[in-house]
A and B are shown apart, each in its own frame.
Chain A
Amino acid sequence: MIITKAKLAKDVLTNEVTHVNLTIDNVIYNVPFDEANRHYQAYLLWVAEGNTAEAAD
């Protein structure tokens, strides 16, 4: 699972950052902050490698 882009995203109702949008194999995944989610696990590893997601709009 190779992440080519990560961007935090907000819920426009609450204006809180609620998930991260990951681009993997040219598909954008809206990934919740749930440690049981394998995409979020991959994101945490990606961050641990020194990467940083783009800020939310």
Chain B
Amino acid sequence: MSTLKVNAIRNVLATSDAVTLATDGTCTANITNKPNRNLIINGAMQVAQRGVSSTQGGRKTLDRFYMNWYNTDQVALTQSQSTDAPPDFSKSYKIDITTAENTLDANEYAWINYVLEAQDCQVLNYNSSNARSVTLSFWVKSYQTGDFAVNLNKYPDNTNRSITSTYTVNQSATWEKKTITFVGDTGGGGINDDNGAGIYIYFFLAAGSNYVGSSANTNQWANFTSSGWANGQTVNLFSSADNYFYITGVQLEVGSVATDFEHRSFGQELALCQRYYLQLTLPKHYANGVNSSYIYQTYLLPVRQRANGAGSVVSQCRYYSGGSGTNFTPTVSPLTDRVLVQGLALTNGNGFVDGTIALDAEL
């Protein structure tokens, strides 16, 4: 047993100490893999409240992520939560082309999108000389090899600013880990400290000629230009029905170092996702002796949502009517922490039986 007695520990090439030791026996460490460093929710693609597969675009499967495509003529695809995943992961987001696009016209494009909430971006210090770099890391598996563009866009607040970089898939049908560091934006008016959208991340899958050709946004923040949005994208995912694209392990962290993916439990990820979207199964309740045409019931939500959500029915709702369940369509009025469910124009209403509603407060 021996004791190493030093005042600090520093890499031979570094200019500052990694660990500083104090005289009281404590130490201070400059750690990059701190807890809660991943700004991305559901980066391991575990949570899919809406469903696991869809042939439509938009928010149909995995929470917080969605895929969309624009101005196309023939292409058809399936987006899904897949169990094909790299080491340390069990799920991924899969885009599978089922019908190819004959030609990629100038105005056609496709991406997977993720939106960061503005108040979660304040640590980035944008629009100041202290603007911080961020590092995006992720695993991809693609049938096609070649270059893909990734864009960060700061749209809703102040000036529309954008930065684009690329990564290369080197081997077909093989999981590869990619890392991109984006510098901080020292201009552009910053990001409002509120519950709106902060930064949009676009993982491009195809981009017509309108969206490539300008280097104005390449590896540098500048005012948005459409021809710089996907600059460097050479792969066209829509070119063949053989094509597919998987992604998982998405992590965005402050600084220029890509640390190991920060795994969170399913319960933690689900709760984080529910800030933006949640489903609620109506609990049974029975009001004995009440035969009303109206039923009102307020339920507390498991998490406080980002904004007052939009309510919709996911599965058929029923109410008690003379001992049996009768179908009805509720009016759903969510606030951020509760939801009022109303059954109107009922016959002998005595309570709710079942049914599932969704509250959508996504960005």
A–B pairs, 7, beta carbons within 8 Å? A12-B342, A29-B310, A29-B311, A30-B311, A30-B333, A32-B308, A40-B310
Q: Which of B121-129, B224-232, B259-267, B355-363 is the interface stretch?
A: B355-363
Chain A, interface residues (CB within 8 Å), range: 20 to 34
Distance to closest chain B CB from A20 (angstroms): 10
Nearest CB in chain B: distance from A33 CB, A:
8
Q: Contact between B360 and A13 (Cβ–Cβ < 8 Å)?
A: no
Q: Give A contacts to B, CB under 8 Å.
A: 1, 9, 11-13, 18-19, 22, 25, 27-32, 34, 36-40
Chain B residue at minimum C-beta to C-beta distance from A42: B310
Partner of A39, one of B195, B310, B335, B342: B310
User: Quick check: is B334 within 8 A (CB to CB) of the other chain?
Assistant: yes
Taking the nearest CB of chain A, how far is it from the CB of B46, in angstroms? 23
Q: Residues of B at under 8 Å CB distance from A? A: 56, 58, 195-196, 294, 296, 306-313, 329, 331-335, 342, 344, 360-363
A43, chain B: closest CB distance, angstroms: 10
Q: For the complex, what is the distance from the CA of A1 to the CA of B335, rounded to whole Å?
A: 22
Contact partner of A32 (CB less than 8 A), chosen from B58, B310, B312, is B310
Q: Kindly state the separation between the CA atoms of A32 and B362 in the bound complex, as whole angstroms.
A: 14
Inter-subunit contact B344/A12 (CB<8 Å): yes
Residues in B neighbouring A13, C-beta threshold 8 A = 296
Query: In the assembly, what is the distance between CA of A36 and CA of B306, in Å?
Result: 8
